[in-house]
């Protein structure tokens, strides 16, 4: 989702010719439904925003980004700049190091477990709610 949003920003407000390379067959898969609808409506209005679906990046070099499409065909996307938004990993071990710094520590979002946006925001909301009850 972050890659789609930044691609939209660069195409719409900075006039860049943008290609979003997505590994799956769906754009912004972690977006809440209403946000997804708004994003896709904006995507359709930007002729300088393109998508390569079901493509896996294999290399980045001075020629650009090399990727394999769903059929295994190699493609090179020329680029003068690259924004990389690649996956998520939980940072629970690093987050646990903060446990001794305060009387109450709530580990939420991707530090707890990789989740979609709604789950992460809800976890943050309840952590804040519990803190204000002290």
Same domain, 106 and 48: no
Same domain, 50 and 22: yes
**How does residue 113 score in pLDDT terms, banded at 50, 70 and 90?**
confident
Asked if 3 contacts 22 with a C-beta cutoff of 8 angstroms, the reply is: yes
Q: How far apart are the first and last CA of the chain?
A: 35
Q: Is the pLDDT of residue 133 over 70?
A: yes
* H or E segment and range at residue 59: strand 56-61
Q: Is the pLDDT of residue 134 over 70?
A: no
Same domain, 70 and 125: no
Q: In what order do the strands lie in the sheet with 74-77?
A: 56-61, 64-68, 74-77
Same domain, 96 and 126: yes
Q: Convert the pLDDT of each residue in 38-94 to its tens digit.
A: 999 999 999 999 999 999 999 999 999 999 999 999 999 999 889 888 767 777 888
- Give the CATH number, domain containing residue 21: 3.50.50.60
Same domain, 45 and 20: yes
**How does residue 111 score in pLDDT terms, banded at 50, 70 and 90?**
confident
Residue at 11 is within a domain: yes
CA-CA distance, 84 to 2, in Å (whole number)? 9
Same domain, 19 and 62: yes
Q: Is the pLDDT of residue 127 over 70?
A: yes
CA-CA distance, 16 to 7, in Å (whole number)? 9
Residue at 82 is within a domain: no
- How confident is the model at residue 44, as a pLDDT? 96
Q: What is the DSSP string of 101-112?
A: GSS-----GGGT
- How confident is the model at residue 87, as a pLDDT? 67
pTM above 0.75, yes or no: no
Asked if 74 contacts 45 with a C-beta cutoff of 8 angstroms, the reply is: no
Same domain, 7 and 63: yes
Mean residue pLDDT of the chain comes to 89
- How confident is the model at residue 85, as a pLDDT? 81
Cα dihedral 26, 28, 31, 35, rounded to 10, equals -100
Same domain, 73 and 96: no
Residue 33 lies in domain? 2-77
Same domain, 101 and 37: no
- How confident is the model at residue 34, as a pLDDT? 93
Q: What percent of the chain has pLDDT over 90?
A: 53
- How confident is the model at residue 1, as a pLDDT? 78
Asked if 117 contacts 125 with a C-beta cutoff of 8 angstroms, the reply is: no
Residue at 83 is within a domain: no
CA-CA distance, 76 to 103, in Å (whole number)? 52
Residue at 10 is within a domain: yes
């Amino acid at each position: 989702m972050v890659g789609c949003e930044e691609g939209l920003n660069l195409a719409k407000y900075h006039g860049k010719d943008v290609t979003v390379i997505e590994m799956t067959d769906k754009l912004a898969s972690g977006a809440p439904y209403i946000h997804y609808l708004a994003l896709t409506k904006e995507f359709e209005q930007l002729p300088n925003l393109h998508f390569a679906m079901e493509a896996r990046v294999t290399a980045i070099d001075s020629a650009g980004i090399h990727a394999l499409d769903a059929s295994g065909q190699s493609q090179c996307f020329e680029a003068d700049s690259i924004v990389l938004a690649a996956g998520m990993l939980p940072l629970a071990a690093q987050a646990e190091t903060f446990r001794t710094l305060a009387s109450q520590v709530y580990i939420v979002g991707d530090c707890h477990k990789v989740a979609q946006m709604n789950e992460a925001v809800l976890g943050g909301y309840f952590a804040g709610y519990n803190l204000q009850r002290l």
